[in-house]
Amino acid sequence: MEASAPTERKLDSEKAKRIVAAMRSSVGRRGTAGSTFDHVAAEAGVSRGLLHYYFGSKERLLVEVVRHDSDLRVARLTEALNAAHSIDEIIEILVRQVREFVEEDPGAQALLYEMFSASRSNDEIRSELAALWRRQRAHVADVLREKEREGVIKLRGDAEAVVSVLFALGDGFELQLLADPEWDSDAAFDTGIATARFLFGA
């Protein structure tokens, strides 16, 4: 913990946040390969050396951008789930998150799928993405366990296993909707909702 604290403080700075935002924007327009430190530094209004100071490598910066996006998304999901008092409310929240990601956030979509592609040939990115997904699964699983203690749901399986299935459903819907915007997904969503209801003990 002691070794990571200075890095965490550095990345909380205003300049580091500008760099992360600039890289996110650049990947959405140019992809990961085209998003050089020179491009990002110019867009963030900082020196190229400052990118190296804060992040060390392009891969580390890309991971921080994904982490930032993912943390915001999970925070919104957690806040909404904490306020849910029925299975129907929980499912509505999950469906809304999938649809909003597809319809409203093309920058996050581009970044996420670019990073998945890059992870196939970069061990550092793959390792960081794996750690990020583990943390997200654990975080949402804690929320579901609390909902179970409150009597809102009765999980049919380990909480993290249920979250893994729900994430897989959401990711699959997002990918298909992005690839085929004209797809009539209503019947598929109904089946996915029935699956979620089963997992929640309905």
Same domain, 160 and 188: yes
Same domain, 157 and 189: yes
Same domain, 88 and 31: no
Question: Picking from 34-38, 124-128, 139-143, which range would have the lowest pLDDT averaged per residue?
Answer: 124-128
Who contacts 84 (Cβ-Cβ below 8 Å, separation ≥6)? 90, 93, 147, 152
Same domain, 90 and 157: yes
Same domain, 104 and 149: yes
Task: For residue 69, give the amino acid letter.
Answer: D
Same domain, 125 and 107: yes
Q: Which two tokens stand for residue 170?
A: 């959401």
CATH code at position 121: 1.10.357.10
pLDDT tens column, 59-107: 888 888 888 888 888 889 999 999 999 999 999 999 999 988 888 766 6
Same domain, 124 and 173: yes
How far, in Å, CA of 148 to CA of 46, rounded?
48
Q: Higher model confidence: residue 107 or residue 197?
A: 197
40, 56, 72 — which closes off a domain?
56
Same domain, 95 and 113: yes
DSSP code, position 185 = -
| Whole-model pTM over 0.85 | no
Same domain, 42 and 117: no
Give the structural domain span for 144.
62-199
Same domain, 84 and 132: yes
Same domain, 12 and 94: no
* pLDDT higher than 60, residue 1: no
pLDDT tens column, 132-159: 889 899 999 999 999 999 999 999 999 9
